């Protein structure tokens, strides 16, 4: 971190604020996790689906909500064919409970609608209706993972603001990092109450992943006074592309893969509310080193 003391101070302040914030008291644990990014195509849908599968595999009742309205593709990645989508909720008045598709490992999936222009540009009224439906529904699950879509449109921000944790996905490309910072900036300006964490995707090395996370975290503290944690990373890995082509998500069907292990670490951070560096070099160095070495040497 650029300014570790400042980060720790802000974290302590945030914990105190969380304890005092009444709108958190209805929920005893963090359940809604929104996955967003500034730039498109950085791996959100794969990370959201596989994180949801990992949580489901751990025995947590989990639902993936594909809120990438207009261009949702989670069910394609999950290898299932939905009977209903969010389009049926918004246009045909179906209840959210009626449109769940059963995914692998008992994962519930609310399928996004693909190619529906009016869903990509929801009216305020529909957006509020959908967001309320999701809030009520989320309380019935241990975790709801929302694939929020890319960018900073009102659709995306509405879902990210509903969340308890926002995972902002960035790759090491400068354009992706700049857009990730743009998303963090808007969330911060809108006083998003969620914990914001970065997930670095497609890294060539741990060092590269850490650099991306530290730069985003440092800039956020320096310019926004916003703490941003590091929830983990995935390597550039052809196994991810293969799982997309096979419609066979790695956290369900290739659990020993390096990508699945990386997702498992992200799930640890999400579940325990800690940063990857908190379970890392400084605290339990050797254990973490062992894990990093395994990631390097494996596959
Ligand atoms: N760690 C990785 N290693 C290699 N390829 C990856 C990795 N992560 C994602 N990809 C590739 O990037 C593609 C896009 O991923 P994904 O659909 O998850 O991105 P997205 O952020 O959801 O995109 P969009 O913004 O269009 O919704 C995948 O189909 C895969 O081919
Ligand atoms: Mg996507």
Cβ of 25 below 6 Å from ligand 1: no
Instruction: Tell me the pLDDT tens digit for each residue of 163-218.
Output: 999 999 999 999 999 999 999 999 999 999 899 999 999 999 999 999 999 999 99
**Local structure of 247: helix, strand or coil:** coil
Question: 5 CB contacts (<8 Å, ≥6 apart)?
Answer: none
Structural contact between residues 54 and 148, judged by C-beta atoms closer than 8 angstroms: no
Residue 78 has pLDDT above 90, yes or no: yes
Question: 93 CB contacts (<8 Å, ≥6 apart)?
Answer: none
Considering every ligand atom shown, identify the ligand nearest to the alpha carbon of residue 46 and give its number: 1
Percentage of the chain exceeding pLDDT 70 = 82
> E strand or H helix at 165, and its extent?
strand 165-170
Q: What is the pLDDT of residue 275?
A: 74
Cα distance between residue 286 and residue 289, in whole Å: 5
Q: What distance in angstroms lies between residue 76's CA and the mean position of ligand 2's atoms?
A: 11
Q: What distance in angstroms lies between residue 35's CA and the mean position of ligand 1's atoms?
A: 13
pTM for this model (two decimals):
0.86
Q: What distance in angstroms lies between residue 72's CA and the mean position of ligand 2's atoms?
A: 7
Strand order in the sheet with 165-170: 100-102, 108-110, 62-66, 143-150, 32-37, 165-170, 195-203, 229-235
Cβ of 41 below 6 Å from ligand 1: yes
Strands in 89-139 per DSSP E: 100-102, 108-110
Instruction: Tell me the pLDDT tens digit for each residue of 240-295.
Output: 999 999 999 999 999 999 999 999 999 999 998 777 765 543 333 344 344 444 44
Mean pLDDT of 69-73: 81
Using most ligand atoms within 8 A of CB, pick from 240, 251, 257, 295 the residue to mutate for ligand 1.
Answer: 240
For the chain, domains (ranges, CATH) are 31-297 (3.40.50.300)
Round to the nearest angstrom and report the end-to-end CA distance of the chain: 30
For the residues of 175-188, what is the DSSP string, one character each? HHHHHHHHHHHHHH
Question: 250 CB contacts (<8 Å, ≥6 apart)?
Answer: 50, 239, 240, 243, 257, 259, 260, 263
């Amino acid at each position: 971190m650029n300014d570790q003391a400042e980060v720790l101070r802000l974290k302590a302040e945030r914990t105190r604020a969380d304890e005092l914030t009444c709108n958190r008291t209805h929920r005893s644990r963090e359940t809604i996790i929104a996955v967003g990014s500034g730039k498109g195509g950085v791996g959100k849908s794969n990370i959201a689906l596989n994180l949801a599968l990992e949580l489901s595999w751990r025995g947590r009742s989990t639902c993936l909500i594909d809120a990438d309205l207009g261009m949702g593709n989670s069910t394609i990645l999950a290898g299932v064919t939905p009977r209903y989508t969010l389009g049926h909720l918004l246009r045909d008045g179906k209840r959210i409970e009626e449109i769940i598709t059963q995914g692998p490992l008992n994962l519930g999936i609310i399928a996004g609608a693909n190619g529906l222009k009016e869903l990509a540009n929801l009216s305020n009224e529909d957006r509020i209706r959908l967001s309320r439906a999701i809030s009520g529904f989320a309380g019935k699950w241990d975790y709801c993972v929302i694939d929020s879509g890319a960018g900073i449109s009102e659709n995306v921000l509405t879902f990210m603001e509903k969340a308890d944790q926002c995972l902002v996905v960035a790759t090491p490309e400068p354009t992706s990092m700049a857009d990730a910072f743009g998303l963090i900036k808007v969330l911060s300006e809108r006083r998003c109450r969620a914990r914001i964490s970065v997930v670095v995707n497609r890294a060539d090395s741990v060092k590269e992943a850490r650099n991306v996370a530290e730069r985003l975290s440092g800039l956020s503290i320096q310019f926004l006074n916003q703490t941003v944690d590091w929830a983990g990373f995935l390597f550039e890995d052809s196994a991810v592309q293969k799982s997309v082509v096979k419609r066979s998500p790695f956290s369900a069907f290739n659990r020993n893969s390096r990508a699945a292990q990386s997702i498992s670490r992200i799930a640890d951070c999400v579940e325990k509310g800690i940063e990857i560096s908190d379970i890392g070099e400084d605290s339990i160095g050797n254990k973490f080193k062992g894990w990093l070495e395994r990631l390097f040497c494996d596959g």
